[in-house]
């Protein structure tokens, strides 16, 4: 009897797929395409289980879509610039490029051992000369389009990484990479004008609601942070100036009883000049200068100081005191707030602390007692606007102010332009030249790409290591030929990951970064798969870049990623597998011990893709045992299956039962592969079929033919998950053709729905779902299916389940109370 030797089978079929170019993706307008993309790895040295899981999910989708007749593009590459290479290079006294390329070679053969269906001819490394050159070309095009500019700005500086960080790379005041505290620094920086697309980036999210997780959409919305409101002008008579505030609540203007400015506000010192408040104000400004943004905006007690000056509320002429407050930030709105303590909790606390008046202007049932009323209501104490509901009043008060020239409607975004200058070596050089005569001049096309010089001292300083290389720095100006200085900063590596998926799809074009024809066929990415940790940074930048490329004419669509799947983490002992926790399971070791198919099967079966996956060896063994059972169905007794030349005749009762099970299984697996990718449920269905087949003993011609049919269907159904064993069994069942070129199996709807009933699920008497279930299930199973159904779950959030009524064979009604 032939044994299951995964160590022989797996490399054999990998070679065989390669030799027929099974995964080569070429434009073919006669077929529908499917672009399946997994986030590209950083070549850190070795593949980890998180990678394996991410790519096993992607591979299952890619292989399934191929079987469904799609022309599938499934590429892989390397996000290869970045600090870890530089740090490793410093530690081992080697070249970051050398370190990176050898990691890539090692990790590539690791991925190949897993049998993923990549078109390796499209492989790219973002540190390659070709990729870097095209990126520099795009940089200059974006610069000429006005989407890149340079300015002196207060930036986030990580003193550990010795580089600037984008706002998105600062998490709670700390560096996203190493968690060290981020300092503020004034530097000349290059910025991508992502704010030019703020509105579009926000509205585009509404077109993605079908394919993206709600959580990611919400995170992006919050990050972009659109606020609709007004700018209102307050006069400061004593210095003949005015201060403009930004507010989202113009309806509360009559309740503005004081004003709070950011300590950095340009008028702060003039307001107290020569007054007895002056010394205190100066001390306060000094103190806040040393506080970071997190402290300033946290829930801790707000601090402030009276400037000594007053402002005039434009709507009622009231004179109100002007304070400085640590919680008001200069970088948002106008850096000035009209304080409405009755209806804003921060202002309320501040008013209590400094004994300032509180005037209610929105009527509430409870009144203003221990806290501000921030809800809706009718205006009071607001002159001619009394009695209006507050939404109407917003518009009415803005109109009124507008007529007086005292205010306008205004929109504010939290999103800031993307600072991309990095003071590090191992990145793509920014292709610009600084000339004292001509200003900033792009490197001319015939001098591109700007290459990284070799043998540079990498130790971090305030400046990029490139600044220490005179041959690199000193150039002649392309415009006036006078002496000039080359830009020495490199680009944020998130620039590379903003367009690698475009480049994958037109790798064959060596003349330009992006080929429009290839884009028109392959884009958009139909399914993107990656970690939720990229919900803001990478996905926002990539969406921005896509829109900018669209405006350069390179692509035709508005959004790059139609569907997004964010896979859960791989855990061991309840904690994320990570080097620092020392709870790593090495994929190589697992592949060695159980084979790639088992590793893939376990990661897909143990948990739905979106949920966390707890690694456990007994689960891996269970997956391995299942493959053993599948193997034995084919090899233990070869007289159980086969096709005879003559017509096999009527099916026995047993055979009819198995036939139904077969078609039900195909139907169930298919349904779980379409759209939602419930691989665990799909695999469970095939396991049930194997169970049913194991004792099957009808060896009449019709029974054998049916058994053969079922075995072949199993090979097809499991091919997306465990492709090597399926390919081998397919051959052992007598086929000369490769399974990789076979279509997905079809089911007969009648056979599949025999013995099935439609279960109606109601919530408080309203029909909320209909589920096809096996007619034989009992009341407890009915109840469980109903309570766990994905269309029902939303109705069970934040409610109490009072009663579940089950009518056998028909209906489940869930009675809930909020």
Select the residue interacting with ligand ANZ from 108, 249, 406, 538 (CB under 6 A): 249
User: Is 515 among the residues that bind ligand ANZ (CB under 6 A)?
Assistant: no
Give first-to-last CA distance, the chain, whole Å: 62
Select the residue interacting with Zn ion from 480, 775, 801, 807 (CB under 5 A): 480
**3-state DSSP of 772-787:** EEECCCCHHHHHHHHH
Least distance from ligand ANZ to the Cβ atom of residue 360, Å: 11
Say if CB 322 and CB 310 are below 8 A apart: yes
Select the residue interacting with Zn ion from 201, 435, 536, 740 (CB under 5 A): 435
Tell the residue number behind the tokens 């396991």, with chain if given.
Answer: 687
Nearer to ligand ANZ, 392 or 681 (CB): 392
| 152 annotated as belonging to a binding site for a ligand | no
Say if CB 1 and CB 635 are below 8 A apart: yes
User: Is 70 among the residues that bind ligand ANZ (CB under 6 A)?
Assistant: no
Nearer to Zn ion, 472 or 541 (CB): 472
User: Is 132 among the residues that bind ligand ANZ (CB under 6 A)?
Assistant: no
Q: Which residues of 87-120 are buried (b: 16+ CB within 10 A; e: fewer)?
A: bbbeeeeebbbebbbebbeebbebbbbbbbbbbe
User: Is 340 among the residues that bind ligand ANZ (CB under 6 A)?
Assistant: yes
User: Is 615 among the residues that bind ligand ANZ (CB under 6 A)?
Assistant: no
Encoded tokens for 612: 């966390």
From the list ligand ANZ, Zn ion, none, partner contacted by residue 767 (C-beta under 5 to 8 A by kind): none
Applying CB under 6 A, the site for ligand ANZ has a residue count of: 19
Tell the residue number behind the tokens 């990549």, with chain if given.
Answer: 118
Nearer to Zn ion, 204 or 478 (CB): 478
DSSP string for residues in 516-584: HHHHHHHPSBSEEEEEGGGTTHHHHHHHHHHHHHHHTTS---S-SBS-EEEE--EEETTEE--TTTT--
Of residues 29, 40, 30, the one with CA closest to residue 503: 40
Least distance from ligand ANZ to the Cβ atom of residue 281, Å: 18
| Secondary structure letter of residue 379 according to DSSP | B
CB neighbours of residue 161 within 10 Å:
22
Least distance from Zn ion to the Cβ atom of residue 488, Å: 17
Encoded tokens for 120: 């390796």
Nearer to ligand ANZ, 121 or 399 (CB): 399
Select the residue interacting with ligand ANZ from 259, 328, 514, 713 (CB under 6 A): 328
User: Is 394 among the residues that bind ligand ANZ (CB under 6 A)?
Assistant: no
Nearer to ligand ANZ, 343 or 394 (CB): 343
Select the residue interacting with ligand ANZ from 112, 128, 195, 227 (CB under 6 A): 227
Select the residue interacting with Zn ion from 110, 318, 363, 479 (CB under 5 A): 479
Nearer to ligand ANZ, 415 or 792 (CB): 415
Least distance from ligand ANZ to the Cβ atom of residue 345, Å: 9
User: Is 296 among the residues that bind ligand ANZ (CB under 6 A)?
Assistant: no
Per CB under 6 A, contacts with ligand ANZ among 411-440 are: 412
Select the residue interacting with Zn ion from 437, 474, 476, 691 (CB under 5 A): 437
Encoded tokens for 716: 């097809």
Tell the residue number behind the tokens 């390329």, with chain if given.
Answer: 101
Least distance from ligand ANZ to the Cβ atom of residue 352, Å: 15
User: Is 190 among the residues that bind ligand ANZ (CB under 6 A)?
Assistant: no
Tell the residue number behind the tokens 């921030």, with chain if given.
Answer: 374
Listed in order, strand segments (DSSP E) in 193-264 are 226-236, 241-247, 258-261
Cis before 737 (ω within 30): no
Distance (Å, whole) CA 231 – CA 247: 6
| Secondary structure letter of residue 370 according to DSSP | S
Put the strands of the sheet holding 564-567 in their side by side order: 71-73, 33-38, 527-531, 564-567
Select the residue interacting with ligand ANZ from 70, 176, 332, 354 (CB under 6 A): 332
User: Is 335 among the residues that bind ligand ANZ (CB under 6 A)?
Assistant: yes
Select the residue interacting with ligand ANZ from 22, 133, 217, 329 (CB under 6 A): 329
| Secondary structure letter of residue 804 according to DSSP | E
CB neighbours of residue 313 within 10 Å:
20
Segment near Zn ion (CB under 5 A); pick from 75-83, 252-260, 296-304, 430-438: 430-438
Segment near ligand ANZ (CB under 6 A); pick from 246-254, 316-324, 727-735, 750-758: 246-254
From the list ligand ANZ, Zn ion, none, partner contacted by residue 438 (C-beta under 5 to 8 A by kind): Zn ion
Q: Which residues of 522-531 are buried (b: 16+ CB within 10 A; e: fewer)?
A: bbbbbbbbbe
From the list Zn ion, ligand ANZ, none, partner contacted by residue 252 (C-beta under 5 to 8 A by kind): ligand ANZ
**3-state DSSP of 480-512:** CCCEEEECCCEECCCCHHHCHHHHHCCCCCCCC
User: Is 338 among the residues that bind ligand ANZ (CB under 6 A)?
Assistant: yes
130 by DSSP, 3-state: which? helix
Segment near ligand ANZ (CB under 6 A); pick from 98-106, 163-171, 183-191, 340-348: 340-348
Segment near ligand ANZ (CB under 6 A); pick from 201-209, 338-346, 549-557, 659-667: 338-346
User: Is 613 among the residues that bind Zn ion (CB under 5 A)?
Assistant: no
Nearer to Zn ion, 349 or 438 (CB): 438
CA dist 204 → 195, 196, 212, 561, 811 (Å): 14, 14, 12, 11, 40
By CB under 5 A, name the binding residues for Zn ion.
435, 437-438, 477, 479-480
Contact set with ligand ANZ (CB under 6 A):
227, 246-249, 252, 262, 327-329, 332-333, 335, 337-338, 340, 343-344, 412
For the annotated binding site for ATP, the residues are: 579
Residues marked as binding? 579
């Amino acid at each position: 009897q032939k044994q299951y030797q995964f160590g022989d089978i797996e490399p054999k079929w990998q070679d065989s797929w390669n030799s027929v170019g099974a995964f080569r993706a070429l434009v073919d307008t006669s077929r529908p395409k499917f672009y399946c993309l997994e986030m590209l790895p950083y070549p850190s040295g070795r593949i980890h289980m998180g990678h394996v899981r991410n790519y096993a999910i992607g591979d299952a989708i890619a292989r399934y879509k191929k079987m469904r007749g799609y022309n599938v593009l499934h590429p892989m590459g390397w996000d290869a610039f970045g600090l870890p290479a530089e740090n490793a290079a410093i530690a081992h006294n080697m070249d970051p490029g050398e370190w990176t390329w050898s990691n890539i070679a090692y990790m590539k053969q690791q991925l190949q051992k897993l049998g993923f269906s990549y078109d390796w001819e499209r492989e790219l490394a973002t540190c390659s000369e070709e990729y870097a050159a095209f990126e520099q070309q795009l940089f200059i095009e974006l610069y000429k389009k006005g989407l890149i500019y340079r300015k002196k700005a207060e930036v986030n500086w990580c003193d550990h990484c010795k580089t600037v960080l984008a706002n998105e790379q600062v998490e709670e005041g700390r560096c996203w990479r190493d968690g060290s505290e981020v300092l503020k620094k004034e530097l000349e920086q290059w910025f991508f004008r992502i704010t030019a697309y703020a509105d579009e980036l926000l509205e585009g999210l509404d077109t993605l609601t079908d394919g993206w997780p709600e959580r990611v959409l919400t995170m992006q919305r919050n990050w972009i942070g659109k606020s609709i409101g007004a700018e209102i002008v307050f006069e400061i008579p004593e210095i003949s100036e005015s201060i403009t505030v930004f507010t989202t609540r113009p309806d509360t203007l009559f309740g503005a009883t004081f004003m709070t400015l950011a300590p950095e506000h340009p008028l702060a010192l003039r307001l107290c000049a020569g007054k007895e408040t002056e010394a205190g104000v100066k001390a306060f400004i000094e103190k806040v200068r040393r506080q970071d943004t997190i402290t300033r905006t946290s829930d801790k007690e707000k601090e402030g100081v009276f400037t000594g000056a007053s402002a005039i509320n434009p709507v009622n002429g009231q004179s109100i005191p002007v304070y400085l407050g640590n919680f008001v930030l200069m970088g948002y709105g106008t850096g000035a707030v009209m304080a409405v303590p009755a209806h804003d909790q921060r202002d309320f606390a501040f008013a209590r602390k400094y004994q300032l008046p509180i005037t209610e202007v929105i009527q509430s049932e409870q009144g203003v007692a221990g806290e501000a009323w921030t809800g809706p209501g009718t205006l009071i104490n607001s002159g001619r606007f009394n009695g209006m509901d507050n939404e109407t009043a917003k518009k009415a008060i803005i109109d009124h102010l507008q007529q007086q020239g005292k205010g306008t409607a205004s929109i504010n975004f939290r999103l800031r332009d993307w600072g991309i200058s990095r003071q590090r070596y191992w990145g793509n050089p920014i292709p610009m030249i600084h000339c004292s005569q001509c200003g900033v001049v792009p490197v001319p096309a015939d001098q591109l790409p700007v290459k990284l010089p070799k043998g540079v001292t990498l130790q971090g300083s305030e400046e990029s290591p490139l600044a220490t290389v005179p041959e690199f720095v000193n150039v002649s100006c392309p415009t006036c030929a006078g002496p000039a200085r080359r830009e020495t900063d490199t680009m944020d590596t998130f620039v590379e990951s903003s367009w690698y998926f475009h480049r994958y799809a037109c790798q064959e074009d060596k003349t330009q970064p992006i080929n429009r024809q290839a884009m028109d066929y392959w884009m958009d990415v139909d399914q993107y798969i990656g970690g939720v940790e990229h919900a803001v940074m990478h996905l926002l930048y990539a969406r921005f870049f896509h829109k900018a490329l669209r405006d350069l004419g390179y692509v035709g669509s508005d959004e790059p990623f139609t569907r997004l799947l964010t896979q859960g983490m791989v855990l061991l002992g309840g904690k994320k597998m990570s080097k620092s926790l020392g709870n790593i399971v090495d994929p190589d070791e697992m592949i060695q011990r159980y084979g790639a198919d088992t590793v893939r099967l376990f990661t897909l079966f143990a948990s739905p893709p979106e949920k966390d996956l707890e690694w456990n060896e007994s689960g891996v063994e269970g997956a391995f045992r299942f493959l053993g059972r599948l193997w034995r169905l084919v090899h233990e007794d070869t007289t159980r299956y086969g096709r005879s030349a003559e017509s096999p005749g009527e099916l026995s009762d047993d055979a009819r039962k198995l036939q139904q099970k077969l078609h039900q299984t195909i139907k169930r697996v298919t349904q779980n592969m379409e759209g939602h990718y419930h691989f665990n449920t799909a695999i469970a269905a095939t396991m049930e079929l194997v169970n049913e087949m194991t004792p099957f003993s009808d060896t009449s011609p019709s029974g054998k033919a049916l058994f053969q049919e079922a075995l072949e269907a199993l090979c097809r159904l499991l091919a997306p998950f465990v492709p090597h064993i399926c390919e081998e069994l397919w051959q052992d069942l007598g086929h000369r053709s490769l399974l990789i070129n076979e279509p997905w199996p079809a089911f007969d709807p009648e056979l599949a729905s025999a013995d099935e009933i439609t279960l109606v699920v109601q919530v408080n008497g309203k029909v909320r779902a209909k589920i096809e279930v096996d007619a034989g299930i009992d009341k407890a199973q009915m109840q469980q299916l109903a309570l766990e159904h994905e269309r029902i779950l939303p109705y069970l959030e934040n409610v109490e389940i009072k009663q579940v009524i089950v009518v056998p064979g028909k209906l489940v009604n869930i009675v809930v109370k909020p």
